[in-house]
Amino acid sequence: MFKHFFDPDRNWKSWDKAEHAAAGLLICALLTLFVSHWIALGVTIALGAAFELGQYDTARSTYVEYEHGDIDRTYEIALGNEGYGFGLLDLAADTAGALLWLAIVLVATIF
């Protein structure tokens, strides 16, 4: 049932994980200007989950263009390919970025 729902990408060292972590940190930092730290963390995680659901919704379209091996471009259903679907690892990177911001704030308030 969930075979094609999740993104099969398992490479935690890829550049998009750094982008997700940076986005999580930045979003959480901006939100802490307006709401409490815990609310900012929750909203950041919710926005990351919404983004991943959007990627799943896009990937299940039959009109997605993506690179596939030796073929330059192809128009196929992208589900089941890396980078397409709900990425648990991407969501974890978003959360890690937000938690890093909260750790920075905690250390800054201690010292």
Please count the CA atoms within 13 angstroms of the CA of 35 that sit on its side-chain side. Answer: 11
- The pLDDT, as a whole number, for residue 73 is 54
Domain contains 4: no
In total, how many domains does the chain have?
1
23 in Cβ contact with 87 (< 8 Å): no
Task: Please give the average pLDDT of every successive group of 10 residues along the chain, which has 111 residues.
Answer: 78 92 98 97 97 85 59 60 85 97 96 85
**Residue for token digits 């930045």?**
26
Domain contains 104: yes
Domain contains 9: no
> What predicted TM-score, i.e. pTM, was given to this entire model?
0.82
Domain contains 85: yes
Domain contains 1: no
- The pLDDT, as a whole number, for residue 84 is 77
Domain hosting residue 56, numbered range: 15-110
Give the CA dihedral 73, 74, 79, 83, nearest 10 degrees.
0
